[in-house]
Chain A
Amino acid sequence: MDIYQIFSIIILDNNGKRLCSLFYEPIGEPEKIKFEKEVFEKSKGSNCELDIIQNRIIIGSKQSDVWVYVVGKSLESNELILLDVLNVLISLFKKACTNNETVMVTKKLFLENFSTIKLYIDEVVADGVVFETDEDTILNRVPLQDQALNDLQTGIELVKEKFSLSSLYSFTRS
């Protein structure tokens, strides 16, 4: 019996190249790449992956040109826990990439929203322990910079820099 349910979360592109991988056990980079490759080779040609590789249960799903896999810790893993994690991840990825639920996650969108996705994964799994799978709760826990407000702020910052307002202040004050 183990609270550490998740061995790794692997996200690959259409060529099996890593977009983002988290392994929750200390293994070396070559082993990681080897494992990813094996997982990818097995899932080619299907849209939904279910397999057992190296005595671990793997559940994966394809989103246009992005593959998302959740790898269980052992053969004892409860597939439905892995599925729960996978579902919430994919749903969150969609939220991170687009406001439109019907649009699939693409590699381009994934990389453009990389940090948000990393934050979401961090909230779903903590070191191999399932941390939270309720979507709304997670969205609340990951505050995002408001795009419009942000653009405005950056604009102001740029203007400030350009006119060296801050140095002007310090000049007048001194």
Chain B
Amino acid sequence: MGKFGKKDDDESEFLFENLDKGQVVQEKRAFNESPIHPRKCSLVISQFLYLLSRGDTFTKKEATDIFFAATKLFQSKDIPLRRLMYLLLKELSSISDDAIIVISSLTKDMTHKIELYRANAIRILCKITDSSILPQIERYFKQSIVEKDPHVSSAALVSSIHLLKVSPEIVKRWGNEVQEAISNKSNMVQYHALALLHRIKQHDRLAVIKLVSNLIKNSLRSPYAQSYLIRCCVEIIEESNTEDRIFREYIESCLRSKNDMVAYEAARSICSFKNVSAKEINSAVGVLQNFLNSTKPTLRFAAVRTLNKLAQTNPTAVVPCNLDMENLITDSNRSIATLAITTLLKVGNESNVERLIKQIANFLGDINDEFKIVVVDAITSLSQKFPKKHKHLIIFLNKILRDEGSLQLKQATLDAILTVVNNIPESKEIALTELCDYIEDCDFQDLTVQILHLIGQEGPLTSSPAQYMRYIYNRVLLDSGIIRAAAVTSIAKFGLLYEPMRDKVIILLQRCLLDEDDEVRDRAILYLRLFKEDDIHYLSKILMDDVPVPTVNMQKSLEVYLHNGDFSEPFDIATVSTVVETAQSPMIGDGKSPFATGSKKSESNVTSPKASGSAANDQEGPESYGTKLSAIPQFSGYGKLLKSSEFIELTETETEYVVNCVKHVFKEHIVFQFNVTNTLNEQQLDNVSVKMVPSDPKLLKYECSIPIDALPYGEPQPCYVAIRYNPANGYPLCSFSNTLKFKVREIDPSTNQPEEQGYDDQYSLERMEIVPKDFLNRAYVGNFVEEWKAISEDNQLVQTFSLVGVKTIDEAVKQIVKTLGMATAEKSEVVQPKAMKHILYLSGKSLSNQLIYVRARMKLDQSQTNTDVELTIKSDSEELNEFVISAFN
């Protein structure tokens, strides 16, 4: 039986869990009974406290009513009940409207003879007073601060800390009282007084220095106060460049404190200093080293976390702890182990890396997959630091690959190997040999396919390509259809890239002609034919070029193309969106993507798909726009849709009305599609349209507007505005101010139907621009560099400018790609980490299908805060060049 009375056996075992708010609110009448039944009231208060903690929401009125009722309990002389009442009032004070009514009762309690009343009354008061009331009760606060009883004094001090935010001017007048409280015999009062005094004097540096210097001599007892004082010292040292040694000496003396909290605070403060002597840092690290061997996990965690941070700035200082940290690699607490290993790898140097890897290899069996992935990541970054050690790293990664493990771990490991291979060309051969061995006995189809792809890509370029052929052909003999298909492609690549083997490759391909799998046969036939015709150019295009768009989007576009049934024009890959929809599951595991390669790394790392910002519009792929728009009678005469922009948000995502826009460009028209979402469930919007005012009305002519008839809550719908422009006069680059116009009809809560009467309203949206990008499409070229050379320099335009505030090359690349909306070529969008300069290649075409080539050479300027760019544009029209460059004006 619980303390709160009897309960039936068939009720939930946890009687509070089923509390109903409505019922409990009724129970508040218990507070009004006379005489007051302490026990009954206590139970009711407990129930309220539980509901509040559970997250039930109380309306302002409910909270105020309960608050009022509870004030009746001031009459009770039952101390436990009073204590509970104070807690309830405090929790409700932030929700209730009229908390101020209890001020007189509380003020009375501040002078009550029972200390518990005084302390608790103060703690509520600080929540409900404001600058107008505080002066009236100021003297009670001052009295309470200097009170001998620690409960009252602490309450007054902590409350004053909160009040500093409300009425700083008044609290600052209490300095003398607070100073007196520092000598209170209670540890906690000391701490609270120190913190308050420091805050009061915060803006007076000399006063702070004086305060801290005095307290250093006074030797505080409270570990909390000492830790706080250490932080004060750090602040003084960092901000005032003081020559005075006493602050540093104090911190150093705290290292020897018997209290772990103080010693730790001192140690980590020293580790954070910018200028620190070897002696200081050694004693600090010594303290942390002791913690590393503590039986308490929290101490080990604190120490290894601090060392991990120190390893970034001062790796040599951490080295003495290496042995202790190696022991932590097998710590039962995952966080400690992870920190230990990443610290070790940070301090690792060329000479001990091998030993470290061996060490880690020894405990691999003891740790779970999730943690192994952390290790794999750490190893990957190590490979960049010590490229010479690639052999050990590759062998280590291979060991993980071969051991038991989940697909996720294996994929991460394979990705890591691919990263190493990409960064360190010398590691290629050993990696390939190891991987060849691995696929002989690999349980994961997807991994085998990816590895075959890699071998096909890199194998022919090694010193002895022939050795790999056996492994690949084994797959053709032994594995399933998908793997066989990948193997056939891989074989063909050897024939393409390594001529001496071409004849043998043809023989092997011929053997695949009778394969039972259609895909395998088809591939073999295609490759054979091309080999026989000696069409190396086409063969290389088929075999070596990655599909430039995500396969999912490609599939969608092809389906739309087939569905439309209009085959007068060939399918154009440039119409396929390159935006990867993150909500899609990564390619691994669906078995349908034999071309999944290492370059898809970013996808496979997406473990938790991020919710897309414009979730409401996700289902609408760009491919379907053309069909949809031409189905609208007003737009049917506009001809073929040439280009649709991405979504442009015209509101914040959390406003009452969420609007985004897509610009559809036709030969002589532009249609603006506004997707509007009504996020207010208490109203319906009628006749919703967007009024657009152009900055330069001469460039265009208004055509028509199609409003949304009725827009209920939560269902996004589009409205349209169409304009006409004359392409002979150039594209209408201008901006628009936009206003959403609509009629509001409230929803009647009783019927859930909108009311008859409504009123007109409007809502301003963000401005929107028509930019050059809206008239440029992506284009894909096989060999950018060759085609670039082929165009004479007479047809080029060079311009240099600076991207102000762009601090990294990666950011600059993204910005340029975004501004031009063209396709990147030669994988030039990949930037080496910490690169200072870079060349980016882009290819695109105008709406009339003129090809455009762009080369952007960029480099960080000397201050490393801006990026200088030299942009070269080549196309067969000067005007077009000018138009492209105008995107950066």
Chain A residues proximal to chain B, CB less than 8 Å:
1, 3, 18, 20-22, 29, 32-33, 46, 48, 50-52, 59, 78-84, 107-108, 111-115, 118-119, 122, 126-127, 129-134, 137, 141-145, 147, 150, 153-154, 157
Contacts and interface: CB of A to CB of B under 8 A. Distances in A.
A3 B302 CA distance: 19
B550 interface: no
B83 A142 contact: yes
A157 B305 contact: no
A59 B224 CA distance: 18
B46 A79 contact: no
Given A3-B199, A79-B305, A143-B79, A48 B297 contact: yes
Interface stretch (B260-268, B467-475, B720-728): B260-268
Given A29-B55, A79-B301, A83-B298, A129 B161 contact: yes
A119 to B, nearest CB: 6
Given A131-B188, A144-B80, A118 B261 contact: no
Contacts of B268: 78
Given A84-B261, A154-B39, A147 B150 contact: no
Given A80-B298, A122-B87, A147-B3, A114 B55 contact: no
Contacts of A82: 298
Nearest to A82: B298
Given A3-B199, A81-B261, A115 B54 contact: no
Interface string B218-231: 00000010011001
Contacts of A144: 80
Contact of A129 (B42, B158, B227): B158
B795 interface: no
A131 B16 contact: no
A124 B83 CA distance: 15
A18 B297 CA distance: 25
B80 A143 contact: yes
B2 A112 contact: yes
Interface string B53-71: 1110100000000000000
A52 B335 contact: yes
A3 B42 contact: no
A111 B45 CA distance: 14
A174 to B, nearest CB: 17
17 contacts: A20-B53, A29-B57, A32-B55, A50-B297, A50-B336, A78-B265, A79-B305, A80-B302, A81-B261, A114-B16, A126-B155, A127-B158, A129-B192, A130-B191, A137-B150, A143-B83, A154-B37
A52 B302 CA distance: 11
B13 interface: yes
B195 interface: yes
Contact of A115 (B84, B162, B232): B84
A51 B335 CA distance: 6
Contacts of A131: 154, 158, 188
Contact of B224 (A81, A113, A147, A157): A81
B14 interface: yes
B118 to A, nearest CB: 12
Contacts of B39: 145, 150, 153-154
B83 A79 contact: no
A164 to B, nearest CB: 14
B151 interface: yes
B116 interface: yes
Interface string B168-202: 00000000000000000001100110010001000
A108 B13 contact: yes
B261 A80 contact: yes
A141 B46 CA distance: 18
Contacts of B296: 83
B228 A3 contact: yes
A79 B264 contact: yes
Contacts of B297: 48, 50
B87 A118 contact: yes
B767 interface: no
A143 B49 contact: no
Given A50-B333, A118-B87, A78 B227 contact: yes
B335 A143 contact: no
B361 interface: no
A128 to B, nearest CB: 9
B4 interface: yes
A77 B55 CA distance: 27
Contact of B299 (A46, A51, A80, A114): A80
A96 B119 CA distance: 22
Contacts of B37: 154, 157
B763 interface: no
Contacts of B188: 130-134
A126 B158 contact: yes
A154 B332 CA distance: 51
Report, nearest first, the 9 A-B pairs whose CB atoms are least far apart: A115-B46, A112-B2, A79-B302, A80-B261, A3-B195, A1-B231, A50-B301, A83-B298, A145-B80
B53 A118 contact: yes
A26 B81 CA distance: 28
Contact of B235 (A1, A78, A130, A132): A1
Given A18-B53, A79-B264, 11 more contacts: A50-B335, A78-B265, A112-B2, A112-B4, A122-B87, A122-B90, A129-B195, A130-B224, A131-B154, A132-B154, A134-B188
